[in-house]
Every structure is written in structure tokens, then in C-alpha cells.
Structure 1
């Protein structure tokens, strides 16, 4: 019996020994625990058009991304509300990008000054050249643009391993003077991807805020705002057109005015599994439009009531006068330049004289005579009185060189004219200049001004409560 038990224990010992050896073998060959997954990231940067995107090798340099962020922050310019006239100006928040504007010089002819048709088209190349890192470029009241680059830096465990990027350009135009349509062309371009990226999962989303400042007006739209698409799909179909129109007869009296702000932005959504900084929607540009059927502007009597009037961007257009030899309006330009740069040499005397019209924050506002005949007459009467006071009652005929007329700045057809103080006691007194100049040159200056008003659809500048509706600026070469 003892021998049987001994054999049993021996067999049991062998079993445990075998099990122990097997356990040691399993332990010895168990693979190590799985390594932590890579941390995948994407960081997006908004670049002005004038900034060249960095290369991947540059991004991989120590400290480069931090320096890039600081550099871009320094380039974020304030978007001055002064670029936009009227109620839409309040919708231009102080974000980034100043505006750039252009003026159309008058055409010189042997019969006196005239004014050309403002341009109504623009190319991407022209936009980028003139944008100057700004939020918008106004070529005219009928052609504007904005553009932006978006750069994505793809990372693995905190190190850049790839980059991608694209550019978006928005061209806004009013192609036809007799059509109330505004066209917005969206062009996505300069697509690039280097290194390890996942652009097929990078979603690009374009949104447009359209704020109508006349609540009951209803717009019509056609075409397409760019739909939400992946980077790769957008590269395959990069161009879109969005048209906006308001029929006449819906606007605020007396000019049937409808104002709308147009504010496009672009954002990106990262692929699943990627984390990182995302600036959110980036404003590409900003503009506002005025639709009107003002009786004193072109096309106000179109046979179809819905097609009367027209539309223009609400930027402050710039009236250009030339002081160059041979310019038909030279005497007018010389007078305005003197009033602006050396007011102490002008009449009436005023040691604090500082005429408006040459700064964004102090523009001119059109005064249509039929809207306020009393004010218009006060402007003209006050200016002529100064010419009589300082050059005599015969100022018009006393110059042997020929007949003269009393020129004034600011113009009689502005709220800022010579009679402003008599209508607005809070306005500075004698903040204008009057000067007899050759009659022919004064007529030429007046012709240019009238055509500027018409061809740029400059509206009566203030409403019945005195609030700004439209405004414009001056420049003298």
C-alpha cells in the first residue's frame, strides 16, 4: 500500500512539474503589451494671399510652428468699418483684413471732362495682385473680391509629417448696369498635399451669411454656394457661381432701397481619429450691396417695374480729379488740393479748417437738390457770398483771362457744403473753401461730378433721420 501511495505521489509530482515547466514556457514566450497608438493631429492656419506657404521641411524645424503662429497674428489687420457706407457698416466686425479701394480717373477730352464706365469684371490674378493682404479689394462699385489660403499641418506624435493647403477666391460683380443681379464666383485653387496626409477625409465647408436690412424684401437666388465637400472632391470640382437678385418695388422709400450684407466664410473638419487646433470659420471677404430704383439715377423708368433701377456695392467710391497740365478740370483739382493740404490759404479764413472727403472716417454725403432744396440753396448762397466778399461783386467778369464761376468745396451737392453750419449748428463754422475759377474748368468739374454720381449709383446720402445711407471720397493727383 505504501508503495502504491509513493508511486501516486511521484506521478502527481511529475504532473505539477510538467505544468510548471509549461507555465514557464508560456510566460517566456508571451509577446509584450501593445504599444500606445500614434497620436494623429491636424492644425489649420489661415494665411493671407501674399504669404507663401511653408514647405514640409520648414515645418519640421524646431520652433517653426510657434514662430509661424506669431507671424500670422501680427499680420491680422483690423477691418475698418469706414470702407463700407451706410447701415451695413455695422455688420463688419473688427476682425481681420483692411480693405483696398480703387478710383476711376476721368477721361480727358477736348470738350471738357467726362467720366468712364466703371469696370464690372475682375480676374483672380487681378484680385490677388491688388488685395494686399486685405479682407477685400474694391475695383469699383461693381467689381470686388476677397481671397484666403488655408494651410493644414498633419502631425504624428507631435511631429509634422505632412502638409496640405488650398486657396479660395470670391469675385463679386454686377455685370450689367440694367440688371439687378449680383454674381459671386467662388474659385478654389492651389491645392497641394505633401507627406502623410488624409485629405480624402478633410471636409471643407463654405457658408454665407446674408443679412437683409429691409425685413420684408425677398431675394431670388440661382446657381450654387459651394457645397460641403472633401478636399479631394473640391479639387476635382473647384468652381461655383451664386447669383442674388431683388426685384424693384420692395425697398424703403423714397429710393426703394434694399441693403444686404454678404459674408462668406470657410471652415474645415478633420478626419475621424485626428485632433488639433481649428480656427473655425474663416471669413474670406465681406461686402454689402444697395439695390435701388432712385428716380435721379439711371434705369429708373424701365418698362418692367421689377427691373427698374440697379444695384451697386456699398463701398465708398472715390471721385478722382486731376491737377495735371491739360486736364479739363485742373482748376477745380487745384482748388480742392489747396483746401485739403493748405486750408489757411483759402477763404473764408478759419484757423481750424479741416475739409472732409479725404479720409475714410470723414466722407462726403450726396445731397440730391430735390430732397432738400433749402439746404442746397444755402450751400450755394453761402459760397457765392464768400466769392463776392473777397473778390468783389464782379468776380465773374473781372479776370481778363475770361469768365469765372464761384467754385466751392465741399460741393453744394453734399451735406457738408458751405451752408452746413446754418442747418447743423453743431457742425464747424466756415469749414469750406470758395474760389472764383475759369468757367469752362468749373463746368468740366461739375460734369465729372454728375457722371460720377450716375455711373456709381451714388444715393442721397442721409435718410430722414440723418443716418448715413451712402457716402464717397475724394482724391487729387
Structure 2
């Protein structure tokens, strides 16, 4: 997260006297999927001053708006948001780290979910007698984070109840599959790419088929709690493999055993049985295809690791509203 270089023409007594500028980079990181600490590293750089701008008296102020969606949740903070300092002082000491932690046990059920927006703002105050063109405040960036202790994600049973679960950024992360020669999941990637780019070539037939997951406005939503719906997704996909490749599809290929691969995945709300669960959803808007068992297994392993590493939550609440989502990309 980076804000472009801030620059301002500076004037005194109605006359321009120079120009000064700098850049601020704010990098948000989470150590790993088992850590509840979110780090924000601030780095000021690209300092430049021309003519007489009196940078020793040019005061830079960084403030952060932190909006917590669970009003009673209390955060812990450490480190330092950049304090109010002069241009010259920041040039001497340009790096700061601010840590934000929410202990487990404060979030909403069933996943102990806490969401917070983190919005840094930057403003400058000119020396007495000086005026400038860009005082601010201006937003540097915007980030949203989730803290959770979902039972199906890593670290849900840590010995210290306050440290259970972890944190993740609330943006839609992307799952990458590789279609390159030698990739263990190549057959899965090729199948998904076909479903996305040429759906008329997939089964079941549907001239209007348009699979989700490849655009921000139509993401995928993880399905975890509704085991019966997961099984229904699998049954619907396997039924298509049987219908179009025969009951012996798994053993009929001389190259080796096969499994019925489906997209969208059975572990998503958009899976093959979606239209039977949601009458408004389009019918047959999925693809099923027998592929080598080993490659299907590799694709499943990558998907499971992706869910854990990115702490992807069950994607919908009891009212069907989006809680979490992700996207697909084929490399």
C-alpha cells in the first residue's frame, strides 16, 4: 500500500519560494495464519526540497482511523504510528511499525469474527508565514482485516484461548492453478480454463453457461458447514461424469485411474447443486470432467492449503449474505 510522493509548492509573502515532497509507503503484513498480529510498516522516502521551503518547520502528521465492526471488541496495540514530526526529522528517522491485535473470544458467532477497517491519513502544516498547495489530510490507503478463531482453520485449539485462530486481510484473495507442463495440477487447471473460456465445450450442455470465480463481481464462496450441500454438489458432478463418460469412467482410461473433477468446486456455494438449493441460480452452470486421479488430488491439496493459509471462512451467513470470498486464476 503506497501513497504517491506528496509534493507542494510553498510560498511566502505572496511569492513562490520553492517546492518540497516525499513518499509514504504503508505495508500491511500478517506473520502467518496462526498469528493474530497485523503489522503496519510505515516508510517515508523520496525526500526532496528545492529552494527555501524551511523544511525544519514543515510538520507532517499521520493519523489512523480504525473502525471496528464489533463495538465491544477491544484491541491491543504496540509499536508506533508515525508521530507528528518535521520534514527534516522524518528524513532522519523514516521507519515506524504499528501492531494491532485482537484477542480471541470477542467476535461474532460462529467463527469468532472481528472485522476492522484501517485507514491512515496524512497532512502537513506549513511554517508560520508560509502557505502551500497540498496541506491534506489525504487518505494514504485503506485496509480491512478479519480476526477469527474458526474451528476448521489453523490454530483453533491453541492452549491459550486468547491466542486461538489468526488474522487475514479481508480482500478477495486469488487461488492460482498452473497449466504449465509438469505442473502436478495441470489437468485441473486445463479443465477450469476450458470452463471459463469455452464453456460450450463442457458438460453438462448449457448454451448460456457462465461459470463464476474469474471476476471480482462473481467470486466463489467457500462452503464448509453445510455437509449435505457439499455431498449434493459431489453427487451432481459425478452424475454428469457417469452420464457422459459411462459408469466406468474412473477405470476406462488405459492411462490410469480417473476421478470426476468439478468446477465450481464442491466446497463452494456455487457448486454443481446450487440450482437445487437456490431456485434463482442458473441450472447446469458448472462443468464436470474425468481427469487423472493424481492430478485431481494435487488440485484438491492446493485448494485445502489455500483455504488454510488465507483463512478463508465459510462464505455466507445464515441470511445468505457474503462473509468471505475468493477468485480464480490460471497461470
Structure 1 residue 378 and structure 2 residue 214: aligned? no
- Among candidates 324, 341, 344, match of residue 180 of structure 2: 324
Residues 115 and 145 of structure 2 are in contact (CA less than 8 Å); yes or no, is this contact kept in structure 1? Answer: yes
Q: How far 1:160 sits from its partner (Å)?
A: 3.8
Q: How far 1:289 sits from its partner (Å)?
A: 1.0
Instruction: State which structure, 1 or 2, has the greater radius of gyration over its C-alpha atoms.
Output: 1
SS at match of 2:115: strand
Structure 1 residue 422 and structure 2 residue 276: aligned? yes
Aligned residue number for residue 222 of structure 2: 366
Q: How far 1:148 sits from its partner (Å)?
A: 2.8
Residues 146 and 286 of structure 1 are in contact (CA less than 8 Å); yes or no, is this contact kept in structure 2? Answer: no
Q: Unaligned regions of 5+ residues in structure 2, if any?
A: none
How far apart in 2 are the matches of 1:187 and 1:330? 40
Structure 1, residues 103-150: CA drift from partner, whole Å, max 9, x if none? xxxxxxxxxxxxxxxxxxxxxxxxxxxxxxxxxxxxxxxxxx333311
Structure 1, residues 71-117: CA drift from partner, whole Å, max 9, x if none? xxxxxxxxxxxxxxxxxxxxxxxxxxxxxxxxxxxxxxxxxxxxxxx
Aligned residue number for residue 67 of structure 1: none
Alignment of 1:130-169 (within 5 A): 145-155=1-11, 160-169=16-25
Aligned residue number for residue 306 of structure 2: 452
What TM-score do the two structures reach when normalised by structure 1?
0.67
Aligned residue number for residue 167 of structure 2: 311
Moved more, 399-408 or 174-183: 174-183
SS at match of 1:452: helix
Q: Unaligned regions of 5+ residues in structure 1, if any?
A: 1-144
What is the Cα-based RMSD across aligned positions, in Å?
Answer: 1.5
Aligned residue number for residue 290 of structure 1: 146
Q: How far 1:279 sits from its partner (Å)?
A: 5.8
- Among candidates 19, 36, 53, match of residue 197 of structure 1: 53
Structure with the larger helix share: 1
Paired residues in the alignment total 331
How far apart in 1 are the matches of 2:2 and 2:192? 33
SS at match of 1:168: strand
Aligned residue number for residue 432 of structure 1: 286
Structure 1 residue 224 and structure 2 residue 80: aligned? yes
Q: How far 1:158 sits from its partner (Å)?
A: 6.3
Q: Which stretches of structure 1, 4 residues or more, deviate above 4 A after TM superposition?
A: 156-159
Aligned residue number for residue 247 of structure 2: 393
- Among candidates 210, 213, 220, match of residue 66 of structure 2: 210
Structure with the larger strand share: 2
Residues 32 and 309 of structure 2 are in contact (CA less than 8 Å); yes or no, is this contact kept in structure 1? Answer: no
Aligned residue number for residue 472 of structure 1: 326
Q: How far 1:176 sits from its partner (Å)?
A: 4.2
What TM-score do the two structures reach when normalised by structure 2?
0.96
